[in-house]
């Protein structure tokens, strides 16, 4: 045993020029990512707008965040974002798990037809204007639930779910069926409990998509009561459309606080859920 | 046993099939479970496809549609703004795709050489971060940083360094036709390089350590190992990533929409934003014309998907749809 181990010895780790260069490159890379984000964070706590990059705010204030949580014109979009994100992730999970589960029923007549019915939408679409006209016919213009409905159905996520479900041993289904379990029973009692990781990954993908959606609001919604926070933030910064406020802070402070509010939910969740986010990419792309 | 009544399972065993009616009845639960998906896809994806007929109709807001044949397409193909948008779509998407993929490959190769596991994990966490920001947020951050006002960081730094004199006016980075595209690419690289490394790192972790050991025994240097072991192992994944993303070239919309403005339409306007402006930023939208442009976009997109699907089948033995 011992001899076999020393037969090949990895070269000893030594500090080479390469590894120093490698570290330096990555420090620079990390700074390039972090500096814009840190600048926004610091400026959101600073009551005066300045151009310099600083490590710490000089005139500390929380007023930027007070405005966001106190002004109806900003709080309402923030609430809309939370509501639509949660509803969108739930609807998305229900539809993608149902769709994915039915697509692995190899015994079901017409299964291929249904798969093509879904896949065709990935190849061809009616386009922006016909979609707009349909939504208008459905009475969904100026209605934030359009965000939920539009993201709730996502064919590529159905396919991801199917890929994941295919990995569950068919013998489990067979055994349950022999025991008299209904398809819905198998789905709820066997498939879903075995798919917690996939549910987390794909649920997060839906949530990020709804929370971050800006163009749907831009196209379909005008009413200030129905817009989401991403849209409000963008309009505020591009058009200087800030609500009147009693707090003595610069516009830039409010803009930066808005940016932080728009990324905070996922930045808080992210360190804990990173593996699920990453897994979502890998079930899709590297799956064999 | 007739062929009609038998089927071959995945494991290659021939089994006798039950009659079709019975199989449908046995699967009734599954059909019901598929119903919600079916309804959503029918309404949200297939119903709009009926609207494609407007591309061949005269249909302005407030009016009722009437057939006109191919006039919208004649107008489209003779409009220079349309051709400019089409060209910009291809250039912006493809250059962006190659630059971010290249950056992702470089970063993942060097990340793979990082011996310290803690440092490696921390770096991964940091470089994935921008992916979770929406385009609206990323555009907001860079609009503020590149702002020509007194709070714009880049203009302020250029003044401090003396590159901009006290009498020079600030640089309008995002409103300058020469600078818009490079800035667009840089922002894309900032946002997507980190996330793009995931798939390459997954491939790299699958390289057999024996290959590196063999290279060590042959006396290869670290750079030689990267050149002759790591990069060849990535070749297939790089091609896959390029194919998967080439299929989406025509989809470019949101990232341009949040960064462009009327001063830079000539270098930034893409088909998606062109359709948007033709419909929602005119006094009386011409749904017929914008549907026609949208149909052109869908057809080109469809052709790209089919080509990429073929290429994908060739390269890795399975399609993309």
pLDDT tens-digit readout, A102-119: 999 988 899 999 999 999
Residue A3 has pLDDT above 70, yes or no: no
C-alpha closest to that of A43 among A223, A249, A236, A220: A249
Question: For a pLDDT cut of 90, what percent of chain B falls above it?
Answer: 56
Q: How many domains does chain A have?
A: 2
* Per-residue pLDDT at A8 exceeds 60: no
- Does A269 have pLDDT greater than 80? yes
Position A1 in a domain: no
Domain containing A111 equals: 63-285
A47 shares its domain with A90 = no
Within 13 Å of residue A265, how many CA atoms lie on the same side as its CB?
17
Residues A24, A99, single domain; the answer is: no
Q: Share the mean pLDDT of chain B.
A: 89
- Domain end (from A5, A39, A60): A60
- Out of A28, A60, A92, pick the residue that ends a domain: A60
Chain B stretch 281-300, residues whose beta carbon is closer than 8 A to a beta carbon of chain A: 287, 290-291, 294-295, 297-298
A89-105 pLDDT, tens digit each: 999 999 999 999 999 99
Cα-flanking dihedrals φ and ψ of residue A71, to 5°? -85, 125
> What CATH number is given to the structural domain containing A76?
1.10.3720.10
Judge whether A11 lies within some domain.
no
Tell me the C-alpha distance between A184 and A179, whole Å: 14
DSSP B40-53: HHIIIIIHHHHGGG
For residue B286, what are the β-bridge partners?
Answer: B60
Delineate the domains of chain B, giving CATH numbers in brackets: 80-316 (1.10.3720.10)
Q: Hey, which residues 54-93 in chain A have their CB within 8 Å of chain B?
A: none
Classify residue A79: in a domain, yes or no.
Answer: yes
For residue A11, what pLDDT is reported?
Answer: 56
Q: Verify whether the Cβ–Cβ distance B54 to A266 is below 8 Å.
A: no
Q: Determine which helix (DSSP H) or strand (DSSP E) holds B7, and give its type and residue range.
A: strand B6-8
Nearest by CB to residue B51, choosing from A108, A126, A182, is A126
Overall average pLDDT of the B2-23 stretch: 66
| A125 within some domain | yes
Q: Smallest Cβ distance to A153: which of B44, B157, B291? A: B44
Taken as a whole, chain B contains a residue count of: 321
Per-residue model confidence (pLDDT) at position A2: 47
Asked if residue A274 is part of any domain, the answer here is yes
For residue A45, what pLDDT is reported? Answer: 93
pLDDT of residue B197: 93
| A264 has a chain B CB within 8 A of its CB | no
Does the beta carbon of A13 lie under 8 angstroms from any beta carbon of chain B? yes
* A167-174: long-range pairs with CB below 8 Å, 24+: A168/A194, A168/A195
> For residues A11 and B219, what is the distance between their CA atoms, to the nearest angstrom?
10
Between chains, do A128 and B111 touch, taking CB under 8 Å as contact?
no
Tell me, yes or no, whether A4 lies in a domain: no
* Tokens linked to A145: 């639930």
B37 at the A interface (CB within 8 A)? yes
Asked which of A38, A60, A82 is the last residue of a domain, the reply is: A60
Region of residue B12 (left: phi > 0; alpha: psi -120 to 50; beta: else): left
- What pTM was computed for the model? 0.90
Inter-axis angle of helices B231-246 and B287-316, to 10 degrees?
150
User: Of chain B residues 55-74, which have a CB less than 8 A from chain A?
Assistant: none
B84 Cβ contact partners less than 8 Å away, ≥ 6 residues apart:
B265, B266, B269
DSSP class of residue A48 equals: S
């Amino acid at each position: 045993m011992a001899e076999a181990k020393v037969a090949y010895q990895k070269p000893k780790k030594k500090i080479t020029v390469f590894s120093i260069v490698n570290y330096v490159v990555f420090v620079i890379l990390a700074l390039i990512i972090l500096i814009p984000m840190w600048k926004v964070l610091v400026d959101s706590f600073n009551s005066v707008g300045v151009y310099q990059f600083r490590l710490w705010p000089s005139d500390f204030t929380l007023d930027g965040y007070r405005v966001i949580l106190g002004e109806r014109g900003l709080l309402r979009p923030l609430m809309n974002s939370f509501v639509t994100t949660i509803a969108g992730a739930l609807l998305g999970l229900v539809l993608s798990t149902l769709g994915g589960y039915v697509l692995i029923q190899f015994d079901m007549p017409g299964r291929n037809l249904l798969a093509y019915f879904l896949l065709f939408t990935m190849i061809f679409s009616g386009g922006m204007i016909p979609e707009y006209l349909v939504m208008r016919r459905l009475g969904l213009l100026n209605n934030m639930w359009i965000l939920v409905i539009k993201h709730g159905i996502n064919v590529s996520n159905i396919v991801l779910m199917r890929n994941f479900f295919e990995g569950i041993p068919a013998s489990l289904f067979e055994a349950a069926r022999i025991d008299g379990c209904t398809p819905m029973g198998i789905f709820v009692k066997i498939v879903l409990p075995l798919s917690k990781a996939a549910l987390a990954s794909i649920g997060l993908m839906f949530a990020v998509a709804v929370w971050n959606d800006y163009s749907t609001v831009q196209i379909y919604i005008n009413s200030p009561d129905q817009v989401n926070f991403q849209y409000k933030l963008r309009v505020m910064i591009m058009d200087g459309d800030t609500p009147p406020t009693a707090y003595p802070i610069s516009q830039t402070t409010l803009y930066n606080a808005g940016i932080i509010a728009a990324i905070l939910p996922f930045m808080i969740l992210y360190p804990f859920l990173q593996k699920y986010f990453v897994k979502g990419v890998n079930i899709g792309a590297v799956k064999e | 046993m007739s062929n009609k009544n038998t089927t071959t399972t995945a494991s290659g065993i021939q089994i006798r099939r039950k009659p079709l009616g019975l199989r449908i009845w046995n699967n009734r639960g599954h059909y019901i479970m598929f119903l919600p998906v079916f309804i959503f896809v029918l309404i949200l994806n297939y119903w709009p496809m009926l609207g494609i007929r407007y591309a061949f109709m005269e249909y302005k807001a407030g009016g009722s549609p009437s057939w006109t044949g191919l006039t919208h397409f004649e107008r489209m193909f003779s409009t220079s703004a349309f051709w400019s948008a089409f060209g910009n779509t291809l250039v912006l998407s493809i250059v962006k795709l190659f630059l971010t993929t290249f950056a992702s490959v470089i970063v993942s190769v060097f990340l793979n050489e990082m011996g310290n596991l803690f440092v490696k994990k921390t770096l991964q966490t940091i470089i994935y971060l921008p992916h979770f920001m929406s385009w609206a947020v990323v555009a907001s951050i860079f609009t503020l940083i590149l702002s020509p006002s007194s709070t714009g960081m880049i203009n302020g730094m250029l003044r401090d360094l003396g590159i901009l004199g006290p009498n020079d006016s600030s640089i309008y980075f995002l409103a300058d036709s020469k600078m818009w595209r490079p800035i667009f690419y840089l922002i894309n690289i900032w946002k997507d390089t980190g996330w793009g490394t995931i798939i390459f790192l997954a491939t790299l972790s699958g390289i057999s350590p024996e290959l590196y050991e063999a290279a060590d025994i042959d006396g290869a240097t670290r750079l030689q190992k990267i050149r002759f072991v790591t990069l060849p192992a990535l070749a297939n994944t790089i091609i896959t990533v390029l194919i998967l993303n080439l299929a989406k070239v025509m989809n470019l919309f949101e990232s341009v929409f949040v960064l462009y403005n009327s001063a830079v339409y000539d270098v930034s306007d893409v088909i998606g934003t062109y359709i948007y402006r033709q419909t929602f930023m005119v006094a009386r939208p011409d749904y017929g014309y914008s549907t026609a442009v949208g149909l052109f976009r869908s057809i080109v997109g469809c052709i790209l998907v089919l080509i990429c699907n073929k290429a994908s089948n060739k390269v890795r033995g399975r399609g993309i749809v």
